[in-house]
Amino acid sequence: MSLETKPITAEELFEMGDIGRCELVRGEIVHRAPAGAEHGDVAGEIFGRIWSFVREHKRGKVYAAETGFTLARNPDVTRGADVAFVRSERVPRRRIRGYFPGAPDLAVEVISPTDRHAAVLEKVDEWLAAGTVSVWVVDSGARSVEIYRSGNQVLRYRENDELRDDPALPGMVLKLDDLFEITEATE
């Protein structure tokens, strides 16, 4: 005998409160372990650089790690990126209590050592299918970034490259050497 459970909605997930790090995939909660320090360091660097550029040029809003974006309904898909950006014209005039309704223009996924490649690509496909313009997949171990866009377009950046993503963030330049540089703490 199989036990069928009713898929939950993004609103039901939000109302559950703090149940740990998770996403909603086709109506089912998928739990994820907290990210490691290297992951957080790289994601923080990317957030800071995008946030500074967006704020200086008044381009929109940057959302911090794991902000939920509801990408599909019936069954619901609510995903969180490590960093997300939404253009000014798409930013709601009022703060949203629940998850953002729709996809960001840019989603950044920083790969963790435990991430399965197939799962990362599935998430990339979901972002793009929902309308995300660019998805950055950042691999700090390989010191590389791949930008995925609709139509199976993939741009690859490696050490010494300057990342430019004109459809999502026109004018922004990100030097990969700076991104992956290990900075020492000062006292």
Q: What percent of the chain has pLDDT over 90?
A: 62
User: Residues 75-107: pLDDT tens digits?
Assistant: 999 999 999 999 999 999 998 899 999 999 999
pLDDT at 123 over 90: yes
pLDDT for the residue numbered 147? 98
45/129 Cα distance (integer angstroms): 27
pLDDT score of 10? 86
Q: Look at residue 102 and give its three-state secondary structure.
A: coil
In this prediction, residue 4 carries a pLDDT of: 59
What integer pLDDT is reported at residue 77 of this predicted model?
94
Q: Tell me the average pLDDT across 33-55.
A: 91
CB atoms within 10 A of CB 6: 8
Return d(Cα 179, Cα 45) in angstroms, integer. Answer: 7
Give the whole-number percent of the chain exceeding pLDDT 70: 95
Residue 102: closest CA among 136, 79, 125: 79
Q: What gap in Å lies between CA 171 and CA 63, rounded to an integer?
A: 19
Domains, the chain, in order of start with CATH, read: 35-68+78-180 (3.90.1570.10)
Q: Model confidence over 145-168: pLDDT tens digits? A: 999 999 889 999 998 999 999 999
Residue 187 has pLDDT above 80, yes or no: no
For the chain, give the mean pLDDT. Answer: 89
Q: In Å, what is the CA distance from 81 to each residue of 57, 151, 157, 158?
A: 22, 21, 20, 21
For position 3, what pLDDT does the model report? 53
pLDDT at 186: 45
- pLDDT value for 16: 83
This model's pTM is above 0.85: yes
